[in-house]
């Protein structure tokens, strides 16, 4: 049996919880305990200039949802198990709502829609809203697609909006709707599980056992509210010269730039907090089969990497490289088992790891609706389960964003953490690539 925050769950293997793929069950549980939690939902907003064919858009949404079982799944609890019911494609109801509003009111309307809770036993985990200006000459329209993470991860967004644009174009011009097979989330997840050998499973559990007893990171904290605090952010930009040195250091150490940047993040957290043993959450795609590449569903997992103070930049980078290798091999961690064996911690803090490191490969999404212009509008979420997260975009120059809960780090301390990370990037690169300035 698994124990997740007091709920008894049937153990069907470490990758399954209560009869569902573990990520799907985790986000169902998040929705039940905190309805409408921003951590369990996501939304994608586009500004649209031009005349939208509303009939084609409605049909395109139903077409895409009809192709992916995860988007047609209802989840209900029955005793100690969760039962997933997949609706037939022709049973998918209306997914698009419309609203007329003055342009100055669009953001308020969009956010209210995006934050509406999902009732996963009766609501499909995707819905959309098209907000048009209330006057013909009053500016652009806006489209928001709200999704629940029980059925959708970051990778899914690229698949979803690519297919939505293709279906919209085909419906307007009479071409073939979509190519490629539809996806069955549960079947793909099971196939990935079955592809593991017994040795793989033993290695996974051995790695997980190393996370037993990891202490909380002693981040500075003020009074902790009953719900996660609102977020602040701190932008950090590494110059092209610094970025080149990160690449040189990675090549000299036979590793990747992300390993260098993560090592600097660990060292900065250690310098800020004095913590010498803590875990950092690393989101991984969880997609290890060819079929998963074009599938919509929640495959993503946060893999905790444990960092101990072992002495010196070389030792820190060595821990990072070893941890990343395991994370890329397994693409999954049995978090529930680890948390259960660690015992009950502070309920106001994320169990096991309070900080995260996210390597971003794209800065925006593309929705190509035939005959109109659309621009993706990224919005910072109002809450996060992680207390502090470093997001990095490695390119010609490295752009990073430290997202932090304001009840944990005020703006001054967040700025100090940004300075520490920049300094530690220099120290790591100096150790492998010479002078960093």
List pLDDT tens digits, range 127-161. 999 999 987 667 899 999 999 999 999 999 999 99
Task: Decide the pairing of beta strands 126-133 and 355-359.
Answer: unpaired
* 70 and 121 fall within a common domain: yes
Whether residue 146 sits in one domain with residue 109: yes
In a domain, 373, yes or no: no
- Is residue 102 included in any domain, yes or no? yes
CATH number at residue 62: 3.30.559.10
Whole-number Å distance between alpha carbons of 44 and 157:
9
Cβ–Cβ < 8 Å for 365, 203: no
Q: Are 210 and 159 members of one domain?
A: no
* Strand order from edge to edge, sheet including 355-359: 231-238, 398-405, 388-393, 355-359, 277-284, 301-308
Q: How far apart are CA 131 and CA 137, in angstroms?
A: 14
Residues 140 and 275 in one domain: no
Domain boundary residue, one of 136, 155, 187: 187
| Higher per-residue pLDDT: 64 or 327 | 64
Q: Do 69 and 186 form a contact (C-beta atoms < 8 A)?
A: yes
Residue 324 resides in a domain = yes
- Assigned domain for 367 exists: no
Model pLDDT for residues 272-318, shown as the tens digit of each residue: 999 999 999 999 999 999 999 999 999 998 889 999 998 789 999 99
Instruction: Tell me the whole-structure pTM to 2 decimals.
Output: 0.87
In terms of Cβ atoms closer than 10 Å to its own Cβ (0-12, 13-18, 19+), residue 378 is: exposed
Q: Domain check: are 223 and 76 in the same one?
A: no
- Give 2-32 pLDDT, tens digit per residue: 223 333 333 346 788 888 999 999 999 988 8
- Is the same domain home to 238 and 355? yes
Pairing of strands 373-376, 41-49: antiparallel
Together in a domain, 152 and 281:
no
Alpha carbon distances (Å) from 330 to 21, 93, 429: 15, 38, 28
Q: Which of 146, 161, 187 is the last residue of a domain?
A: 187
In a domain, 340, yes or no: yes
pLDDT at 212: 84
Q: Is the predicted pLDDT of residue 102 greater than 60, yes or no?
A: yes
Asked, for residue 372, whether it belongs to a domain, the answer is no
Q: Is residue 282 part of a domain?
A: yes
* Dihedral sign (CA 129, 382, 390, 14): negative
Are 299 and 178 within one domain?
A: no
Give the domain extent around 213.
197-362+379-433
Let me know whether 181 and 214 are in one domain. no
Residue 362 scores a pLDDT above 70: no
Task: Note whether 20 and 153 are same-domain residues.
Answer: yes
Same domain, 173 and 276: no
Which long-range contacts does 344-352 make (Cβ < 8 Å, 24+ apart)?
Answer: 345/216, 346/216, 346/224, 348/224, 348/225, 348/226, 348/228, 349/216, 349/224, 349/387, 350/281, 350/385, 350/386, 350/387, 352/211, 352/214, 352/279, 352/281, 352/304
**Domain with 349 in it: what CATH number?**
3.30.559.30
Q: Is residue 93 domain-resident?
A: yes
Out of 187, 206, 237, a domain closes at 187
Residues 287 and 146 in one domain: no
Q: Give the number of domains in the chain.
A: 2
């Amino acid at each position: 049996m698994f124990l997740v925050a007091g709920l008894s769950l049937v153990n069907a293997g470490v990758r399954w919880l209560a009869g569902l793929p573990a990520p799907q069950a985790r986000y169902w549980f998040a929705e039940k305990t905190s309805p409408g939690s921003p951590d369990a939902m996501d939304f994608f907003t586009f500004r649209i200039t031009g005349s939208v064919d509303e009939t084609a858009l409605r049909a395109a949404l139903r077409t895409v949802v009809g192709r992916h079982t995860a988007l047609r799944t209802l989840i209900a609890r029955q005793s100690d198990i969760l039962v997933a019911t997949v609706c037939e494609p022709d049973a998918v109801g209306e997914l698009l709502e419309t609203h007329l509003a003055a342009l100055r009111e669009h953001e308020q309307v969009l956010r209210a829609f995006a934050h509406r809770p999902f009732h996963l036993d009766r609501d499909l985990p995707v819905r959309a809203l098209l907000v048009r200006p209330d006057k013909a000459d009053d500016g652009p329209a806006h489209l928001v697609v709200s999704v629940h993470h029980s059925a959708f991860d970051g990778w899914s967004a690229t698949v979803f909006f690519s297919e939505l644009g293709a279906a919209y174009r085909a419906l307007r011009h009479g071409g073939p709707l979509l190519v490629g097979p539809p996806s069955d989330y549960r079947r793909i997840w099971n196939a990935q599980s079955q592809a593991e050998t017994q040795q793989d499973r033993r290695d996974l559990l051995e790695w997980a056992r190393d996370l037993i007893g990891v202490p909380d990171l002693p981040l500075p904290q003020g009074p902790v509210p009953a719900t996660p605090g609102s977020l602040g952010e701190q932008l950090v930009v590494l110059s092209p010269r610094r970025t080149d040195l990160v690449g040189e250091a990675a090549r000299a150490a036979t590793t990747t730039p992300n390993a260098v940047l993560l090592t600097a993040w660990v060292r900065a957290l250690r310098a800020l907090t004095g913590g010498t043993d803590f875990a950092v959450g690393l989101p991984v795609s969880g997609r290890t089969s060819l079929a998963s590449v074009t599938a919509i569903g929640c495959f993503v997992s946060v893999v905790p990497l444990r960092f101990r103070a072992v002495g010196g930049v070389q030792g820190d980078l060595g821990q990072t490289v070893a941890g990343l290798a395991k994370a890329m091999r397994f693409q999954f961690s049995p978090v529930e088992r680890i948390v259960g064996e660690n015992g009950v911690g502070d309920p106001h803090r994320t169990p096991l790891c309070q900080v995260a490191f996210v390597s971003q490969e794209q800065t925006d999404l593309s929705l190509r609706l035939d005959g109109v212009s659309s621009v993706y509008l990224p919005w910072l979420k109002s809450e996060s389960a992680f207390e502090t997260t470093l997001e990095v975009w490695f390119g010609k120059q490295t752009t990073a964003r430290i997202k932090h809960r304001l009840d944990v780090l005020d703006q001054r301390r967040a700025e100090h953490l940004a300075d520490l990370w920049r300094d530690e990037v220099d120290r790591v690169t100096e150790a492998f690539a010479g002078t960093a300035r």
